[in-house]
Amino acid sequence: MKKRRMTMIEQQQQQQMIMRMDTMKRRKPWGDEIRKTRRGPINELAEEEDEERHKLEIVDMSGMDLDSLPNHLPSPLNIATICKLNLSSNDLQSIPESVTARMLNLIVLDVHSNQLKSLPNSIGCLSKLKTLNVSANFLESLPKTIENCRSLEDLNANFNKLTKLPDTIGFELVNLKKLSVNSNKLIFLPHSISHLTNLCILDARLNCLRSLPDDLENLINLQNLNISQNFHYLSTVPYSLGLLLSLVELDVSYNNITTLPDSLGCLRKLQKLSVEGNPLVSPPVEVVEQGWHAVKEYLSKKMNGSNKQQEESPKKIRSSWIGKLVKYGTFNGRRRGGAANEDQSEGFVVMSSYRRIQGLASPRYCTSTVRSF
């Protein structure tokens, strides 16, 4: 009797899948509308691309109480034609290797809010994948084969149990623009992460980070860096933060940092610095409370003092951080901080008043990146 009941449940789930797929087929196909092109050999390739694009399908199987995926999905569905697959908010404990390996045209994969303890190694076959949301699961690591997803632009692995990332992840995922790994158990970030030259957003808050890689200066497009709430684990940040030329927002709040590196005074585009919840000594609290302009002037003056010492020992300047800052054009040793010399709008520092970090209240906010299809 029990076996028969399970069969009926599986049949109901299969019928739901088929109904959803029928609904998807009534929608506009993936991609823009067919381009209006003139007939001729020059546009044949474009027309073929449009035809292929319109054969791709969007499949939404979210919130169906699925505890497993069959190796062979319902017959109306051709796995190779799926471009967006939403399996979020189920009870999946694994994803079959054979299913993932055949999704050769998959661009978006959303499996957030499941019971996944690992990802299939065949995820490396998804060469066209651009967005991957695996947040709110029980992942302790990411498969090394994820490095083969070289088209990946957005990786969301928030709210898992990750203790480390693949060592060479930064060497391969060269198109990655957003990396979200908050609310995990990461002790460090791999040094290869400094090779993600297209990265714009790095969110590593609420982990157990002891330190950051020293050579972050290659992250030339990084605009938002959040390493807050690593609490007593994180006590220092590297001088290379001052070489992040595109940085607009920096959040180092609720750590154990006593000294901000002088190089931060060279961040020309920085608009917002959050440092509350740290036992700061340099710069002192009274300076921080005056805002980012005062902090920048304080750090610049300290750096000028360091530069004088370096001028007395010119042999060491090439290996010093002052030398690197001059090389990258972020610092002039003769320059003095001050309002008259500033050519940018003044930012501000969040220091004394407590604020709730966006998206921290629940995993629902952080996992909504690709929830809607």
How far is the C-alpha of 334 from the C-alpha of 171, rounded, in Å?
37
Buried b vs exposed e over 318-332: b needs ≥16 C-beta within 10 Å? Answer: eebbbbbbbebebbe
Query: Do 231 and 253 touch, CB atoms closer than 8 A?
Result: no
Query: Do 46 and 37 touch, CB atoms closer than 8 A?
Result: yes
User: Residue 59's closest CA among 77, 33, 75?
Assistant: 77
Torsion of CA 70, 74, 80, 85, to 10 degrees: -70
Query: Do 71 and 95 touch, CB atoms closer than 8 A?
Result: no
pLDDT of residue 305: 74
Phi then psi for residue 224, to 5 deg, are: -135, 120
Strand 201-203 relative to strand 224-226: parallel, antiparallel, unpaired?
A: parallel
**CA 294 → CA 126, 222, 259, 270, 335, distances in Å?**
49, 24, 15, 13, 16
Residues 22-37: pLDDT tens digits? 555 444 444 443 233 3
Residue with tokens 């996992």: 367
User: 3-state DSSP call for residue 342?
Assistant: coil
pLDDT of residue 176: 98
Distance of CA 165 to the CA centre of its chain: 12
Residues 103-140: pLDDT tens digits? 999 999 999 999 999 999 999 999 999 999 999 999 99
Distance of CA 43 to the CA centre of its chain: 37
How far is the C-alpha of 138 from the C-alpha of 122, rounded, in Å?
19
User: Residue 59's closest CA among 114, 104, 22?
Assistant: 22
pLDDT of residue 370: 43
pLDDT of residue 33: 34
pLDDT of residue 351: 57
User: Residue 233's closest CA among 259, 260, 206?
Assistant: 206
Residue with tokens 């933060």: 241
pLDDT of residue 72: 64
Query: Do 73 and 79 touch, CB atoms closer than 8 A?
Result: yes
Strand 108-110 relative to strand 201-203: parallel, antiparallel, unpaired?
A: unpaired
Report residues of the chain scoring pLDDT below 50.
1-5, 25-42, 51, 317-318, 332-346, 352-373
